């Protein structure tokens, strides 16, 4: 109940301030309040007077951003669907242990996987070399002292 009251209060404040802004912009050159002056009556320079150009630009931005949000949502939905499908198929398989011990000769061990799949071995070696190079660069080993 308290959140609803806060939301209603914020809404009333925003509507009131928007109404006040419009009333002040339509006032005379001296303004309706002391010290408030209308700075321009040129519709191209005013933020309150829409023109066809401003309307077209606004709609273009709305369509562009809406399309970007929808396409990102669809991409994320596809990624999560694919990952969920893989998890479901992995859960359906019988339970198999996996050993990370380097000396393990079991078929589900890390070393057996590296021995059977050369691409994984090459990728692991490349990642280790890149990690070592980035660490050396961050430590300043390549810079002249």
Contact status, residue 70 vs residue 60, Cβ threshold 8 Å: no
For the four alpha carbons of 78, 79, 82 and 83, in that order, the dihedral sign comes to negative
Band the pLDDT of 59: cuts 50, 70, 90: very high
Local structure of 46: helix, strand or coil: coil
What is the Cα gyration radius of the chain?
32
121, exposed or middle or buried, with CB in 10 Å at 0-12, 13-18, 19+? middle
pTM: 0.44
Residue 50's pLDDT is 82
- pLDDT tens for 79-110 read 999 999 888 887 888 877 665 666 556 666 77
Band the pLDDT of 118: cuts 50, 70, 90: confident
């Amino acid at each position: 109940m308290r959140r609803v009251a806060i939301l209603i209060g914020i809404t009333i404040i925003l509507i009131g301030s928007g109404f006040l802004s419009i009333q002040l912009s339509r006032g005379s050159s001296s303004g309706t309040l002391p010290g408030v002056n209308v700075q321009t009556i040129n519709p191209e320079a005013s933020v309150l007077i829409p023109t066809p150009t401003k309307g077209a630009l606004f709609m273009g931005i709305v369509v562009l951003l809406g399309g970007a949000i929808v396409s990102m949502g669809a991409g994320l939905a596809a990624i999560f669907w694919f990952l969920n499908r893989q998890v479901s198929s992995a859960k359906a398989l019988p339970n198999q242990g996996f050993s990370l011990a380097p000396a393990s000769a079991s078929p589900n061990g890390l070393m057996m996987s590296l021995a059977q799949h050369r691409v994984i071995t090459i990728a692991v070696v490349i990642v280790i070399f890149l990690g070592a190079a980035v660490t050396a660069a961050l430590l300043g080993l390549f810079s002249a002292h």
